């Protein structure tokens, strides 16, 4: 236990990153259209290609990618600030989210020069949106059990199988899919590779899945004998498991694992300022603030490791597990606080109730996306030497 805890060294955002915060706020003040809290609460599930392209024109899509490929060449700390400010404002970031956070850095690290020259400038211009194909039917987020298979053929690959719970596949241009290129599911981590799949190819069917809120940001994707060129393979054949784990450290440790309910928290705070605080409200708000400050420090500690080129997979799993538990607790706690004094709640505003309703319905997914709680706790247990 002590070894894992020692990995979280208290770190601060550098002065340059804090100075960057003012630029981001100026951009959002100019480019983010006013929206109701229930709309802003969708933030990193909110898909707005036009907003993403304005962000790209400012140079902030592919913010950590090299300038040679059109990126801003900035560090992970400034990306942390950019993400933190956009989520706090409720900006609709879903269109470029996966490409900026994972696909671009993955291609930059493991891709060939041809792949970098093709994909990275398009990502940085906001012209190439990506999704990630990991979870599968009957396997969930147990990625070592994937059954989607790519077989070597003359000139490329033949891809067959299904992915599910793929975020925004119906709106993306490309998927980076984890597939089996050799062996069997019983081989677990062996025989897995990553392929870049053009989602416009024949043989691909994308079926959106409507959730409880009426939104459809998840999809099921079916591959029916899809032909991919040789250069679809990214990295080395059979190295997919190692590459995915490096990618997941980016996915599981950022502010998005803490801030999914922050628009509701802010909306409730504004309502309390109008209607007045009860002692119970103050205790609850103080608890949220304390937890958020602590979790933010943990997230910055992991960002510091990523900036040093490390791959803090276990630390990132811990941040996601605790962070999503916090995000899920906020809607239920605020709903209970409002319900404790229903007369005052009616007076507050309808926006607050709509935002509570949205997040109460969607928050159970917070601990599913990016790896379920069971998967994460298994990783943490292994990191502690308990498995």
pLDDT recorded at residue 4: 65
Burial of 286 per CB tally in 10 Å (0-12, 13-18, 19+)? exposed
**161: alpha, beta or left, given left = phi > 0 and alpha = psi -120 to 50?**
left
Superfamily of domain 1-128: Acyl-CoA dehydrogenase/oxidase, N-terminal domain (1.10.540.10)
Residue 348: per-residue pLDDT = 59
Distance between CA atoms of residues 101 and 93, nearest Å: 11
pLDDT tens-digit readout, 291-339: 999 999 999 998 998 888 887 888 888 899 999 999 999 999 999 998 8
Q: What would the two tokens of residue 288 be?
A: 């949220």
Q: In the chain, list all ranges with CATH 2.40.110.10.
A: 132-238
- Which of the following CATH numbers is that of domain 132-238: 3.40.640.10, 3.20.190.10, 2.40.110.10, 3.40.50.300? 2.40.110.10
Token code pair at residue 205: 């069917």
* Cβ atoms of residues 295 and 319 within 8 Å: yes
pLDDT value for 141: 61
Question: Where exactly does CATH 1.20.140.10 map onto the chain?
Answer: 252-384
Residue carrying structure tokens 């996915």 = 251
Spans of the chain below 50 pLDDT: 346
Which positions are annotated as active-site residues? 251
At 120-168, the pLDDT tens digits run 999 999 999 999 998 898 776 667 778 999 999 999 999 999 999 899 9
The segment(s) of the chain belonging to CATH 1.10.540.10 are 1-128
Q: Can you tell me whether residue 203 is helix, strand or coil?
A: coil
Q: Which residues contact 21 (CB under 8 A, 6 or more apart)?
A: 81, 85
For domain 252-384, which CATH number applies: 1.20.140.10, 3.30.420.40, 3.40.640.10, 1.25.10.10?
1.20.140.10
Q: What are the start-end ranges of the E strands in 20-171?
A: 130-133, 149-153, 156-167
130 forms beta bridges with 174
pLDDT for the residue 289: 95
What confidence score (pLDDT) does residue 5 get? 67
Distance from C-alpha of 364 to C-alpha of 137, rounded to nearest angstrom: 19
Query: Residue 186, class by beta-carbon neighbours within 10 Å (0-12 exposed, 13-18 middle, 19+ buried)?
Result: exposed
């Amino acid at each position: 236990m002590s070894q894992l805890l020692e990995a979280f060294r208290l770190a601060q955002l550098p002065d340059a990153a804090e100075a960057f915060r003012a630029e981001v706020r100026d951009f959002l003040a100019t480019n983010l259209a006013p929206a109701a809290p229930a709309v802003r609460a969708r933030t990193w599930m909110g898909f707005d290609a036009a907003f993403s392209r304005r962000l790209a024109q400012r140079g902030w899509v592919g913010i950590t990618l090299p300038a040679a490929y059109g990126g801003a060449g900035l560090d992970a700390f400034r990306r942390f600030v950019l993400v933190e400010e956009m989520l706090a404002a409720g900006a609709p970031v879903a269109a470029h989210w996966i490409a900026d956070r994972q696909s671009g850095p993955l291609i930059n690290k493991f891709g060939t020069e041809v792949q970098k020259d093709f994909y990275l400038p398009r990502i940085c211009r906001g012209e190439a949106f990506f999704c990630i194909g990991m979870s599968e039917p009957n396997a969930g987020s147990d990625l070592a059990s994937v059954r989607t298979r790519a077989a070597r053929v003359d000139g490329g690959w033949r891809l067959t199988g299904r992915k599910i719970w793929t975020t925004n596949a119906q709106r993306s241009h490309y998927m980076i899919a984890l597939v089996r290129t050799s062996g069997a599911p019983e081989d677990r981590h062996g025989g897995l590779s990553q392929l870049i799949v053009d989602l416009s190819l024949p043989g691909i069917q994308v079926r959106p899945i409507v959730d409880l809120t009426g939104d459809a940001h998840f999809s099921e994707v079916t591959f029916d004998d899809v032909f991919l060129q040789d250069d679809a393979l990214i990295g080395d054949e059979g190295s997919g498991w190692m590459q995915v784990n490096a990618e997941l450290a980016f996915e599981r440790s950022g502010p998005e694992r803490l801030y999914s309910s922050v628009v509701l928290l802010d909306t409730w705070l504004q309502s309390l300022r109008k209607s007045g605080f009860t002692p119970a409200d103050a205790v609850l708000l103080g608890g949220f603030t304390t937890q958020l400050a602590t979790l933010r420090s943990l997230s910055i500690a992991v960002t510091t490791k990523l900036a040093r080129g490390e791959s803090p997979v276990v630390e990132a799993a811990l941040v996601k597990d605790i962070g999503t538990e916090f995000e899920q607790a906020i809607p239920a706690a605020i709903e209970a606080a409002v319900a404790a004094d229903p007369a005052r709640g009616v007076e507050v505003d309808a926006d607050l109730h709509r935002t509570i309703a949205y997040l109460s319905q969607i928050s159970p997914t917070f601990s599913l996306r990016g790896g379920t709680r069971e998967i994460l706790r298994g990783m943490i247990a292994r990191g502690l030497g308990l498995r």
